[in-house]
Amino acid sequence: MKNRQDKKNKKQEKVRTFKGAGLRSENIPQPGHRRHKWRNIRWALLLFFNFLFFASFFFDIQILEGTLSGSRLLGFHLIDPLAAFQVILSSKIVMVNLIIGVVTIFLIYLMFGGRSFCSWICPYHWLAELGEKIHQILKKEKIIKNHPFDRKIRYYFYGFFLVLALITGFTVFETINPVAIISRFIVYGPSLMLLWVAALLIFEMSYSRRAWCRYFCPVGVSYQLIGLLSPLRIKWEKENCSNCKRCQSVCLVPHVLTDSINQGKSEYVNASDCTRCGLCVDICDDEALSYGVKYLDKLI
């Protein structure tokens, strides 16, 4: 009995030593800390909303009709901002339903955080997240190397496809947009364009970690702009942080944590391209990261 108590005391002392030294053990989460809590919630909601698209069409229940490019929730219009801008430029017509759909989407993601669409709703993000695990295994075994790209590429793509819609009169990007392709597959069934999605996933698994979401996808640009105004942020409590940087190792866009955790500039992660995925919150054994509402502290 005494030996068991001695082992317990040594383990508690080890935890204190790690915290005091600014180190972190992979296998010693803090009491009450639940691994994968937010990831599991996020995956459940993502799969639910995408299934709702399928169920609304297949069972004709008219709850969430259409696809992620453009839909109606209980008859109320929703449309992806980039898709709406392409339609307007290609048709040279500004339709009331498009304006309603864009404004509604703006208000929703203003409330929940701009790029939360990417991690909480986008079906490609879910597939890429699974593919990322394979990439990490291959990299760990030194079979592959990761090859990063310039994050500015997605801004160039955003402008390029808008200009292309204006010139051609077609929403060209929607034919190759993996988000739209998978969403159409969920609702209407498979097409040959799924091969393009498979090629992207293989590219990410074998060459560049989460390349589409990190560097190329112009869809996230609209939501990133909304994220500049969104009050829902990841909150960082400096006094609890041991600076282990594990949060940055799992982050889809690790640069968003740099200003706060590396430089101590703000108690909130202010980078607009944070996806609010919660992976950093889940992995933080210090419980230094959580969801918070910026500006609310000043009102309380």
The two structure tokens encoding residue 205? 């698994």
Q: What local confidence, expressed as pLDDT, does residue 253 receive?
A: 86
For the chain, what is the domain count? 2
Residue 159 has pLDDT above 80, yes or no: yes
Q: What's the whole-model pTM score?
A: 0.85
Residues above pLDDT 70, as percent of the chain: 85
d(CA 284, CA 230): 23
Residue 116 has pLDDT above 50, yes or no: yes
| Short-list 174, 160, 169, CA closest to 67 | 174
Q: Which domain holds residue 241?
A: 233-299
The two structure tokens encoding residue 297? 């502290």
d(CA 123, CA 69): 12
Residues 211 and 138 in one domain: yes
The predicted-structure confidence for 210-260, as pLDDT tens digits, reads as follows: 999 999 999 999 999 998 889 999 999 888 888 888 898 899 888 888 766
3-state secondary structure of 170: coil
Residue 25 has pLDDT above 50, yes or no: no
| Short-list 253, 157, 149, 155, CA closest to 203 | 149
The CATH code of the domain that includes 258 is 3.30.70.20
User: Among 173, 191, 224, which residue terminates a domain?
Assistant: 224
Distance of CA 223 to the CA centre of its chain: 11
The predicted-structure confidence for 167-195, as pLDDT tens digits, reads as follows: 999 999 999 999 999 999 999 999 999 99
- Least confident range from 11-20, 109-118, 270-279, 288-297: namely 11-20
Residue with tokens 């259409």: 66
User: Among 203, 224, 245, which residue terminates a domain?
Assistant: 224
The two structure tokens encoding residue 283? 């992995």
User: Among 177, 200, 224, which residue terminates a domain?
Assistant: 224
Does 11 fall in a domain? Answer: no
